[in-house]
Amino acid sequence: MSKQIGVLAMYMNGRRLEELSFFRKLCVSGEKLGVEVLVFTPDDVHENGTRIHTLTYKASERRWVRKWSGFPQVIYDRCRYHGIDNFRKISQFRKKYTKLRYLSKPLANKWTMHQLLSEHPGIAPHLPATLRYKNTKELGEFLKKHAIVFMKPKSGTGGRGIIRLQRLPGANACLMQGRDSDRRIISARKVTVEQIPARLAGWKLGERYIVQQGIPLELKDGRVHDFRMLVQKDGQGQWRVTGCAGRIGPRQSVTSNLHGGGSAISMESLLRSRFGSGKKVSDIRKEAYDLGIRIAHHLEAKFGPFCEAGLDLAVDPRGHVWLLEVNPKPSREVFSRIGEKETYRRAISRPLEYGLWLIRQKQSESS
């Protein structure tokens, strides 16, 4: 039987697929590994529920081919949240086809994630203090403890709706700046803590927001930075750190997300520019890598097996490593941007290698 891995995707507007160029690379990588990669959306399943109209890229012919196929044994779900209708389609699909083996799964929102990760004594010291937003009184207290505070929507992505508060000397005043829900920059302004809910009217702070200790991440030129680490299962089902890269936000931005105009730089050069070229850099790197693996194992114990996660990490001026966020459906473009070709190649092939390993496991179980 030929081996197949399905990529579950979503049509954006009309018939355009969001990550088409990634899917093309998956198909090419699959061809080399001896597995056929079939891209489809819930709309492509035949009404009788047994066949799918899939797309696959033929490297030798340099073109996409559409054809009817059976259900692949393993499914790589790449659907990100794009509105409630798409979300429903995907969850209905996953509910209907429970027998398929999924490589990725929805994890948890930022607040639940914080609580789950706090349970692990080896992870807790790496989590910034975090609360749910309640009122300005608690926010004011929190700002007394932490000179920088971030407010983030618990289900936000891509740096949307993020506010940074910096304590100013004097009565309850702080400097507020950030990004709105369309990722537009909100430039710095001085506010009192009591003014914040009115300034952010309509943001549903109480229902949607977490409040988090801010890690000082400004570089000498005033831009902020952090790191994106990709942890993945390999072809033997073992967790590995595939790579880690630095990201530097554009001027006036409190977030470093690439989609918000951030630029990418190798982890090594960014750490060296801050900590010199000595042992400190290799110690930080090791701490970050060990933490990444620990987080992957802990999440797997909580959620069951999955193939990868993108971790947003911060390194404070003392060299301590912090976890800012876990992304269940990470992109891997950052490695291509910094020219780490081998890391990028691996970042694409590993989910397929892990999928193949699962297929082989299943075959040996049933034989």
Ligand X SMILES: Nc1ncnc2c1ncn2[C@@H]1O[C@H](COP(=O)(O)OP(=O)(O)O)[C@@H](O)[C@H]1O
Residues making contact with Mg ion (CB under 5 A): 312, 325
Strands 148-153 and 163-167: antiparallel
Q: Which lies closer to Mg ion via its Cβ, residue 85 or residue 182?
A: 182
The option from ligand X, Mg ion, none interacting with 260 (CB < 5 to 8 A, set by class) reads none
Q: Which lies closer to ligand X via its Cβ, residue 38 or residue 151?
A: 151
Taking Cα atoms as reference points, which of 113, 170, 111, 103 lies closest to residue 308? 103
Q: Which lies closer to ligand X via its Cβ, residue 110 or residue 285?
A: 110
Least gap, CB of 250 to ligand X (angstroms)? 11
Least gap, CB of 229 to ligand X (angstroms)? 12
Sign of the Cα torsion 167, 173, 174, 179 reads positive
Give the Cα separation of 20 and 310 in Å (integer).
20
Least gap, CB of 255 to Mg ion (angstroms)? 8
Is residue 78 a contact partner of residue 9, using CB atoms and an 8 Å limit?
yes
Q: Which lies closer to ligand X via its Cβ, residue 42 or residue 330?
A: 330
DSSP category for residue 29 = H
Could you count the other beta carbons within 10 Å of the beta carbon of residue 67? Answer: 10
Q: Which lies closer to ligand X via its Cβ, residue 57 or residue 227?
A: 227
Q: Which residues of 340-361 are buried (b: 16+ CB within 10 A; e: fewer)?
A: beebbbbbbbbbbbbbbbbbee
Least gap, CB of 159 to Mg ion (angstroms)? 7
Q: Which lies closer to ligand X via its Cβ, residue 211 or residue 356?
A: 211
The option from Mg ion, ligand X, none interacting with 215 (CB < 5 to 8 A, set by class) reads ligand X
Could you count the other beta carbons within 10 Å of the beta carbon of residue 36? Answer: 17
The option from Mg ion, ligand X, none interacting with 224 (CB < 5 to 8 A, set by class) reads ligand X
Least gap, CB of 306 to ligand X (angstroms)? 18
Sheet holding 101-102, edge to edge: 63-69, 52-58, 36-40, 4-8, 74-77, 101-102
The option from ligand X, Mg ion, none interacting with 226 (CB < 5 to 8 A, set by class) reads ligand X
Is residue 275 a contact partner of residue 71, using CB atoms and an 8 Å limit?
no
The option from Mg ion, ligand X, none interacting with 336 (CB < 5 to 8 A, set by class) reads none
Q: Which lies closer to ligand X via its Cβ, residue 6 or residue 328?
A: 328
Tokens read off for 53: 């109209």
Residues engaged in binding ligand X (CB under 6 A):
128, 150, 152, 156-160, 162, 212-215, 217, 224, 226, 255-257, 312, 314, 324-325
Residue with structure tokens 């990444």?
Answer: 292
Least gap, CB of 165 to ligand X (angstroms)? 11
The option from ligand X, Mg ion, none interacting with 178 (CB < 5 to 8 A, set by class) reads none
Least gap, CB of 164 to ligand X (angstroms)? 7
The option from Mg ion, ligand X, none interacting with 256 (CB < 5 to 8 A, set by class) reads ligand X
The option from Mg ion, ligand X, none interacting with 72 (CB < 5 to 8 A, set by class) reads none
Taking Cα atoms as reference points, which of 284, 309, 285, 280 lies closest to residue 297? 309
Taking Cα atoms as reference points, which of 70, 3, 67, 1 lies closest to residue 31? 3
Least gap, CB of 322 to Mg ion (angstroms)? 13
Q: Which lies closer to Mg ion via its Cβ, residue 312 or residue 340?
A: 312
Could you count the other beta carbons within 10 Å of the beta carbon of residue 365? Answer: 7
